Copies of this chain bind each other. A is one copy, B any other.
């Protein structure tokens, strides 16, 4: 079988195809790079129409990571998708979903484990990069925590996927008056690969 076996060449050609096919005109250059990687993760060049970000989102994420911000992930697949060698400051990548305290917190708060796990982020939230790539309830819970005075992250990447609450939680993020930089993909689409790809793009300019 004949196919390209050079990883670097595959990346280069992939990104060239994406830039040729996708309409990235709505985004500033630093965000455009992020959206290219998000498209790369899902194989769909129509993604840009669903992407919304605050004007300062890419800058906020790049600067926070460079300054050593922790990366707080709602799911282990997200945490696993963050390429450690791209991180500029050996940033901590934290997922508290399997913390032994999480099930008790979920029972106590009468919510999902994905949402309850965020309670264990409180000491890490200030200046962090939050990445929600799986659970709509986690994104809803984050917005509730912030509305009740939790410390502000530097950037919220809110890209949960699915059919119940995903679109609604992402709309709530976009409508929020908290004035925290954010990046989202509206509607049902999303997921850990797209969310992790956004982090990987912000972490390093290397393509």
Q: Which residues of A contact B (CB under 8 A)?
A: 1, 3-7, 10, 13-14, 17-18, 40-44, 76-77, 80-81, 110-115, 136-137, 140, 143-144, 161-166, 168-169, 172, 187-193, 196
Contact = CB atoms under 8 A, between A and B. Distances in A.
Given A13-B163, A17-B164, A193-B77, A3 B136 contact: yes
Given A77-B77, A137-B5, A163 B40 contact: yes
Given A1-B143, A113-B7, A42 B189 contact: yes
Contacts of A81: 77, 192
Contacts of A144: 1
A44 B188 contact: yes
Given A42-B191, A166-B43, A137 B3 contact: yes
Give the top 9 A-B pairs by smallest Cβ distance, nearest first: A43-B188, A5-B111, A14-B163, A17-B163, A80-B80, A7-B112, A43-B161, A43-B189, A10-B164
A114 B7 CA distance: 9
Contacts of A137: 3-5, 7, 10
A121 to B, nearest CB: 18
A166 B43 CA distance: 9
A104 to B, nearest CB: 15
Given A43-B188, A81-B77, A163 B18 contact: yes
